[in-house]
Structure 1
Amino acid sequence: MGAGKTKRMPRAVREQQMLDAAVRTFARRGYTAASMDEIAELAGVSKPLVYLYLNSKEDLFTAVVRREARALTEAVRAGARPAGQPADRQLWNGLRAFFTHTAQHPDGWAVLHLQARTHGERFAAEVAAARAEIVAFVTQLIAAAARAAHRDPDLPEREVAGLAEALVGAAESLADWAGATPGVTARQAAATLMNFAWAGLDDLMRGRPWVPPGDESGDGAAARAG
């Protein structure tokens, strides 16, 4: 590495190189085993420069988590546009964007879904905030679909929130499965989840919920079926 070449590199570009190297190292080594020496070498800079830009290993990992979480949420939102589409089309496009992003950035997904959640509250809180943003977005889609189906009354807010949590959780698990299963494309993963979830959601929104045996006259979903 030539010192002059590094000196001429814009700070923003150099910092992204460090973050790229950190994502790869944290994903493959784990937070505890990852070393700043390895990250610096992979980025093509000196270790003191990494510390100068990003202060500490903890701050570096936080910056990585924030960048990867932001990239994922932006990909999902961008994929689901435009907002005027039917809710099922928006959800389909959002899911395809989610699975495409996780497939194209497996190290980033490993950092978010595996490393950040298990190495301290500070990191877990960053991931939780990004996840909450996606859940809120899916909640809006489900609520919009319920309104479009002319349900009266609308699905209760708590139930819509629960459905969104379930759907996002299923997407996260399916992303792990798709990443570990050769030949599964983002489109196939998204179609699997839509086939699993949308028919049931559609029935629920149209007032045809599944009723547990013996609960035909009970409360909750059964009451709404009456």
Structure 2
Amino acid sequence: MGAVKNKRMPRAVREQQMLDAAVRTFGQRGYRSASMDEIADLAGVSKPLVYLYLNSKEDLFTACIRREAVALTAAVRAGVGPGLTADRQLWEGLRAFFTHTAQNPDGWSVLHRQARTHGEPFAAEVAAMREELVAFVTELILVAAREAHRDPSLPEHEVAGLAEALVGAAESLAAWANATPGVSAKQAAATLMNFAWAGLGGLMENRPWSPPPPLDSHG
């Protein structure tokens, strides 16, 4: 019966079934240890069919990275509704990020661990996703900062580094939260929100921290 169902399954649905199996296998076993036999068996199809649809293990892994990257960025963008205050936008974006990575731990493992450690072109795929997230966060902070300062010409580089740091912190915290029992997505988001908004709140109120003058070398 299973074989008959597979034959009647639309190609797009069957391909997603293969990608589901591949993400689970790559995420849990790692790229090197995962086998095409194992992926095909988990997907309920033959190994030749996997190769027919997705060409090679490398192409299959790349397809997994792209699918998971699109899903993550879409989740973050969908979480940030229009018309929200700056802190609420950041909060909703962080909560969407941590909720998605918690609900899709294998996909997050593929993006955060596997793709980055097996060279090009895999690392480049993840870098592209990360650049999109950083650009999105930069725009969120920039719009809020320009409104708070009443300065539409506030340069992007003033906040770009903050966005880069925030995305990096979110990535590390998501990996920690997924590996730490009892830490919810909401708790992880609140942790980073409390850490980040102390600094961003000062920026919005035009009172950024400045480095102190150098100590007198003789004193």
Shorter chain as denominator, the TM-score bin is: over 0.9
Matches of 2:150 and 2:182 in 1, distance apart? 40
Aligned to 1:55: 55
Aligned to 2:201: 202
Deviation at 1:147, TM superposition (A): 1.6
Structure 1 residues 200-225: Cα deviation after superposition (integer angstroms, max 9, x where no partner) = 1111232211122226xxxxxxxxxx
- The letter for the 1-side match of 2:161 is G
Structure 1 residues 82-114: Cα deviation after superposition (integer angstroms, max 9, x where no partner) = x21112111100100000000000000000000
Deviation at 1:156, TM superposition (A): 3.4
Aligned to 1:174: 173
Q: Report if the CA contact (8 A) 1:72-1:101 is conserved.
A: yes
SS at structure 1 position matched to 2:33: coil
SS at structure 2 position matched to 1:48: helix
Structure 1 residues 137-167: Cα deviation after superposition (integer angstroms, max 9, x where no partner) = 1001110111221254864322311010000
- The letter for the 1-side match of 2:92 is N
Q: Report if the CA contact (8 A) 1:65-1:126 is conserved.
A: yes
Aligned to 2:11: 11
2:148 corresponds to 1:149? yes
Deviation at 1:52, TM superposition (A): 0.5
Aligned to 2:21: 21
Q: Report if the CA contact (8 A) 1:146-1:154 is conserved.
A: no
Aligned to 1:97: 96
Matches of 1:150 and 1:114 in 2, distance apart? 39
Give the 3 Å change call, closer, same or farther, for CA 50–180 of structure 1 in structure 2.
Answer: same
Q: Report if the CA contact (8 A) 1:155-1:205 is conserved.
A: no
Matches of 2:126 and 2:53 in 1, distance apart? 23
Aligned to 1:42: 42
Q: Report if the CA contact (8 A) 1:117-1:123 is conserved.
A: yes
Gaps of 5+ in 2: 215-219
Aligned to 1:160: 159
Aligned to 2:128: 129
Matches of 2:139 and 2:46 in 1, distance apart? 46
Matches of 1:136 and 1:126 in 2, distance apart? 16
Matches of 1:154 and 1:174 in 2, distance apart? 33
Higher relative contact order (CA 8 A, sep 6+): 2
Q: Report if the CA contact (8 A) 2:146-2:152 is conserved.
A: no
Q: Report if the CA contact (8 A) 1:75-1:98 is conserved.
A: yes
- The letter for the 2-side match of 1:193 is L
Gaps of 5+ in 1: 216-226
SS at structure 1 position matched to 2:69: helix
The normalised TM-score by structure 1 is 0.91
- The letter for the 2-side match of 1:115 is Q
The normalised TM-score by structure 2 is 0.93
- The letter for the 1-side match of 2:180 is T
- The letter for the 2-side match of 1:15 is E
How many residue pairs match? The answer is 215
Aligned to 1:221: none
